[in-house]
Amino acid sequence: MDLDRNKMLRHNPIIVGEEAKRAQAAADLAGNLPADQIDPETFFMEQHWDLYSEENHETWRRLYAKRIHSLREQASNVFLTGFDAFGLPADQIPRLTTVNDVLRSTTGWQSRPVPGYLPAKSFFACLAQRKFPTTMTIRPPDELDYLPEPDIFHDVFGHVPLHADPVFADFLQTYGQAALHTTTDHETALSRLFWFTVEFGLVHEDGRLKIYGSGLMSSVGESNWALKGDGERQPERRPFDLDKICATHFEIDEYQPLYYVLESFEQLRDAMVSYAERVLNDANVTV
């Protein structure tokens, strides 16, 4: 366990215990199993909301207050519709049971608590069943602006609102099905696709650029950069092209120099359906 992980644990007693160890061990083991033998239910745990500390809730409050100011101006209408449907609290970490009540009535997705990082195959198995692995930890209060791994703010505030949209919900499940059964030829391509869409995607709406990627939703600085540049420089913005995305390297330690721009979420869903057919045909899989 590295130092960053130890630091997270000190601020998040919610994930300490036999239940969390069991769930993490199951997820780690599943990463080596055939796709049809993976049971995502074994990865999940209870949220144990009452174990969050006042410091944890204060971190959520500070992150929410910092991001909500510009969200209405920058975020996709599709994201904002989902965000408003959840009514995420500004003053405390959300209860996933409440989040899931909304998802159940819209797209059938669920936000399921996990103790930490899941191996890629375990993560994809969850997506294939419309279950989003949701990190229970929240970042330390002295690391509000950047964290190298996801936390509950990134996952719930940044990801989950789009899961209430039927078109995006279909895209993400199709992505999970393809990624779960992929051959090695497609692994890198699919990781790039996730990065440039789910994490750092832009979309044209109302005659201008807006953000929808969760990495942008949870970063005020990179959202400003993606949409406006820094006054002297601009990132490169290219029209969405799935095959070109799958051939594009991405950066993990700095603001992206390149973003891909959708014209609609239907464009993303339809391109994913076509690509998934190729992946599953190569793997001789029917879903």
Per-residue pLDDT of 172-186, as tens digits, reads 999 999 999 987 778
pLDDT of 266 over the 80 cut: yes
pLDDT of 161 over the 60 cut: yes
Give the model's pLDDT for residue 254.
86
The CATH code of the domain that includes 144 is 1.10.800.10
Confidence of residue 9 (pLDDT cuts 50, 70, 90): very low
Q: Identify whether 109 is part of a domain.
A: yes
Give the model's pLDDT for residue 287.
67
Return all residues near 69 (Cβ < 8 A) that are at least 6 apart.
Answer: none
pLDDT of 87 over the 70 cut: yes
Give the model's pLDDT for residue 3.
40
Give the model's pLDDT for residue 140.
87
Q: Identify whether 287 is part of a domain.
A: no
CB of 258 within 8 A of CB of 235?
yes
The per-residue DSSP string of 61-93 comes to HHHHHHHHHHHHHHB-HHHHHHHHHHT--SSSP
pLDDT of 36 over the 60 cut: yes
Q: Identify whether 89 is part of a domain.
A: yes
Confidence of residue 10 (pLDDT cuts 50, 70, 90): very low
Closest by CA position to 76, among listed 167, 172, 190: 167
Beta-strand relationship, 131-135 and 202-205: unpaired
User: How deeply is 253 buried, as exposed, middle or buried, from its count of CB atoms within 10 A (0-12, 13-18, 19+)?
Assistant: exposed
Q: Which long-range contacts (CB under 8 A, 24 or more apart) does 275-282 make?
A: 275/178, 275/193, 275/242, 275/246, 276/174, 276/175, 276/177, 276/178, 279/178, 279/179, 279/181, 279/182, 279/183, 279/186, 279/190, 280/177, 280/178, 280/181, 282/183, 282/185, 282/186
| pLDDT tens per residue, range 227-261 | 999 888 999 999 999 999 999 999 888 899 999 99
Q: Rounded to a whole number, what is the distance in angstroms from the first to the last CA of the chain?
A: 37
Counting residues of the chain whose pLDDT is more than 70, the rounded percentage is 93
What average pLDDT does range 217-222 have in this prediction? 88
Give the model's pLDDT for residue 5.
46
Confidence of residue 1 (pLDDT cuts 50, 70, 90): very low
Q: What is the dihedral of CA 256, 120, 136, 92, to 10 degrees?
A: 40
Confidence of residue 86 (pLDDT cuts 50, 70, 90): very high
Give the model's pLDDT for residue 253.
80
- Return mean pLDDT, the chain: 91
Closest by CA position to 212, among listed 169, 145, 174, 158: 158
| C-alpha–C-alpha distance, residues 87 and 178, integer Å | 32
- The number of distinct structural domains making up the chain is 1
| pLDDT tens per residue, range 63-75 | 999 999 899 999 9
Residues taking part in catalysis = 154, 159, 199, 218
Q: At residue 196, what are phi and psi to the nearest 5 degrees?
A: -85, -5
Confidence of residue 17 (pLDDT cuts 50, 70, 90): confident
Domain extent at residue 131? 3-282
pLDDT of 136 over the 70 cut: yes
Q: What is the pTM of this model?
A: 0.92
